Amino acid sequence: MKILLLLSACIVSAASQCPNTQEAFHRYLMCIKGKLDGDYGNFESELQADERKAIDTCFASSLPSGQAQHRCVLSVRELEHHAWSKNGPMRDCALCLTFANAAIKALHQTSEGEIECIRTSLIHSLTKEASFCLQRTQGATFTALSNFPDLDEASFPHKDKIVKTTSDFIMAHSRLTFCSKRNPQFAAATSACMTKPFPGFLSKHCDAAASCSRAIPSNCAASVSSARAAACQCIAQGRAGLQKRVQNIGAIIRRAVAAGGSADQCVEDVSNSLVTPSNNWVQVIDGIIHKCVRKATPLSLESLFKVGCRKALTGKDGEAAKLDAGFDFLGSLVDAIADRAERFCDGAHCH
């Protein structure tokens, strides 16, 4: 909280020297978008190659080396299988695989218009989370993220690369979640490494951010830098909060099983856990499916929760535990999209 208050003070002070911080910040975002639009394929290639190198650097490749290095285990060889394949983290949950493959198909294997509709709608809801945080810390008039540009507008010709990058992201986060439940210290060390895994990590992205920063008028540089820091912190908080809610779904279902409650009550409890001050995420995601996917689909979050609660309440074959992998996938998939939107933040790896 103290950090946020200091950031707020910096923005207020610097804003007196900059005629319109929000407009200058938006121009910075549009500059980043211009860089991506002009060379999207090479930016995506860097993202894919460097993320794999980061996994190879930060994760151990075997259990013995994991114990020796105090790291979580994920070998690059495992990344050859998609995170939503029968060889991935959801291999024991048929329902999870069905939903995951439908989600990936909707996000990456439909028409350009449908994919853009899903992506921009999700980003709008994700930036609403961050905007709520910003308005609490910067004031109700600070709406710098309300017209957030589509940084991935030029992505459609490169969707096969994006599928691989997304799969790697989900595999790494799934393994970190698994590892954190068994050895939190190893998970913390691995996660810290992934923020700055090696010199030159995402250097093309860092150069783009630096170039756009230099283009900011000198009288607005300090205020835009402070606004960007606050925005990036709020986006990170929003991502972490949503991840925590999604990862807690399994625990909510297990409590419903232990209490001997009804499937309807279980679904209601799960749905309520995904309501934030900014979004009702069940309504958001199901609304996006209804609005953006032309071919009718029986799959929705509500239907997933209904089937999941019913299966868990049967008490057979540890159904509740199996569903955890599916909810972890859901959280990681949304987080992968948010991670792309956060590329305007020059992280620790850029310094």
Model confidence pLDDT, tens digit, residues 217-234: 999 999 889 888 888 888
pLDDT of 212: 94
pLDDT in tens, 302-347: 888 888 888 888 866 577 777 888 888 888 888 888 888 888 787 7
pLDDT at residue 142, rounded to an integer: 64
Residue 44 to residues 32, 172, 200, 202, 230, Cα–Cα distance (Å): 14, 18, 16, 10, 26
CB atoms within 10 A of CB 79: 18
Give the pLDDT confidence score for residue 307 in this predicted structure: 86
Q: Give 131's Cβ-side CA count (13 Å radius).
A: 18
CB neighbour burial string for 210-233, b if at least 16 within 10 angstroms, e if fewer: eebbeebeeebbbbbbbbbbbbbb
Model pLDDT, residue 296: 56
d(CA 226, CA 179): 35
Residue 207: which residues within 8 A CB-CB, separation 6 or more?
Answer: none
Whole-Å CA distances, 300 to 37, 48, 146, 290, 293: 32, 29, 27, 9, 12
Check residue 59 and give left, alpha or beta (phi > 0: left; psi -120 to 50: alpha). beta
Which pTM was predicted? Answer: 0.85
Supply the angle between the helices 319-341 and 112-138 in degrees, to the nearest 10.
80
pLDDT at 13: 47
Q: What are phi and psi of 215, to 5 degrees?
A: -80, -10
DSSP 234-247: HHHHHHHHHHHHHH
- What is the pLDDT at residue 157? 93
pLDDT of residue 317: 56
Question: What pLDDT was estimated at residue 65?
Answer: 93
- One-letter amino acid of 55: I
pLDDT of residue 1: 36
Q: What are the residue ranges in the chain where pLDDT is below 70? A: 1-16, 137-144, 296-298, 315-317
